[in-house]
Amino acid sequence: MINASEYSGGTSWSSDFCTAVQIDQNDDIDAFNPFSTRYRRLVVWDLPGNNTPIADAPNLAPNGTKTIRIANNAMKIAKPGYNVDTATYAQLAFDSTRLPVKVIRAADIALPSGQSFYECGFPITDNVALDVHFYTGSTIMYPNNPVDLKFGAEYWFDGTRIYFDATQAMRARFMLYLEDNSAPTSGTYNVLRQFNDGTQDVVQFLRPGASNPPSWADIIIDTRWPQVQILAEGYFNVTSGNGNVVDIAFDGTGMFPMVKYMTYHGGGSNFNTNSSWQNRVRMPFLDILKYGYQGQSHTGNSTYCELTANNARFRTFRGNVGDYYEDDNFEWQTDGADPPLGIRYYILGIPV
């Protein structure tokens, strides 16, 4: 149960059984970003944002246990060595009642300055989200380019196309996710479907009881769609310093990687929502000082990552001021920051 109270500035709540998430479209932590893409659609990954290990189970040696279960209401496959009838979620390879994300298109393309489009070849529905990195050269700057804060592109969907409006010539590396949690269709289609789509042979695993043809929600696995893999993941403590560097090497052979990370912070409170917390996890963002202070150009809140084919380099600025400004008496003042204590990162990848 969640106890909620409404305030003019938002909603606050507390519970022993949940994590509170506050989304404020009126703050200005990314006021430098002219695209404001975080206002359009929020994608939440079911992964830890602190140093908690991922819920996983190691593969065991084959021991004769039943690993596949196909029934009229579910299809499950356990990891090697686990009994599918008693396996926990972490011990399952996949489960038709909890579908993996569908990457229905992925590419790394060149964008000219101004408007252009990418043709998907099928109508793009409302239940999609585009995960995209814009970059030049061989290095991706995430969440944004710290040198050119206006670097990037607006994007939108229309018909069968993804349109881009880029500030300059650049590249876009993207994955188009499909989310469809609608109820299964009704029918007697086999769980294994094989056909040729006109250009290639296709194999699909379907939810039991799917109709013919199946809906998006009925498809568990489609050999045309790459599966997102975690190439590297972990947590590191953020130490004090102006522009400290932490390198994370990974094997990106045959993949194109994308980086995701969250910053972990200590306790605090919010007067406007009458809320407090012992710790919190935040989206990463750049926070640039308007006026430099003693060699500092980033505030202590700022972080970013430089991603290449086989390495992710994180830069942090813990210990820097939060702001440097002239007050009403024309005196220069500094504010404190809320710097991250740690960073939880994931290097995702799909086959090229």
What pLDDT tens digit does each residue of the chain (352 aa) get?
Answer: 222 223 333 333 333 334 445 545 555 554 544 444 444 566 778 899 999 999 889 989 989 999 999 887 788 999 999 999 999 989 998 888 777 778 999 999 999 999 999 999 999 988 888 999 999 999 999 998 888 888 999 999 999 999 999 999 999 999 999 877 777 788 777 788 999 999 999 999 888 888 888 888 888 889 988 888 999 999 999 999 999 999 999 999 999 899 999 999 998 888 888 888 899 999 999 999 989 899 999 999 999 999 999 999 999 999 999 999 999 999 999 999 999 999 999 999 988 8
pLDDT score recorded for residue 203: 94
**First-to-last CA distance in the chain?**
45
Judge whether 75 lies within some domain. Answer: no
Q: What is the pLDDT of residue 19?
A: 46
Q: Is residue 10 part of a domain?
A: no
Cα–Cα distances (Å) from 270 to 6, 277, 279, in that order, read 14, 9, 13
Residue 328 lies in a domain: yes
Alpha carbons 250 and 258: distance in angstroms, whole number: 12
What is the number of domains present in the chain?
A: 1
Q: Which pair of tokens denotes residue 311? A: 């390495």
d(CA 30, CA 42): 15
Q: Does 94 fall in a domain?
A: no
pTM: 0.83
d(C-alpha 278, C-alpha 274), whole Å:
14
**Residue 314 lies in domain:** 229-351
Question: What local confidence, expressed as pLDDT, does residue 28 receive?
Answer: 55
Which residue is associated with the tokens 């695209």?
A: 35
Instruction: Give, for 155, the enclosing helix (H) or strand (E).
Output: strand 153-158
The reply to whether 311 falls in a domain is yes
pLDDT at 38: 43
pLDDT of residue 41: 63
SS3 89: helix
CATH of the domain at 337: 2.60.40
Residue 307 domain flag? yes
Asked if the structure places residue 129 within a domain, the reply is no
pLDDT score of 1 = 23
What is residue 308's predicted lDDT score, i.e. its pLDDT?
96
For residues 343 and 261, the answer to whether their CB atoms sit within 8 Å is: yes
The confidence score (pLDDT) of residue 27 equals 52
- The single-letter code of the amino acid at 348 is L
Within-domain flag for 23? no
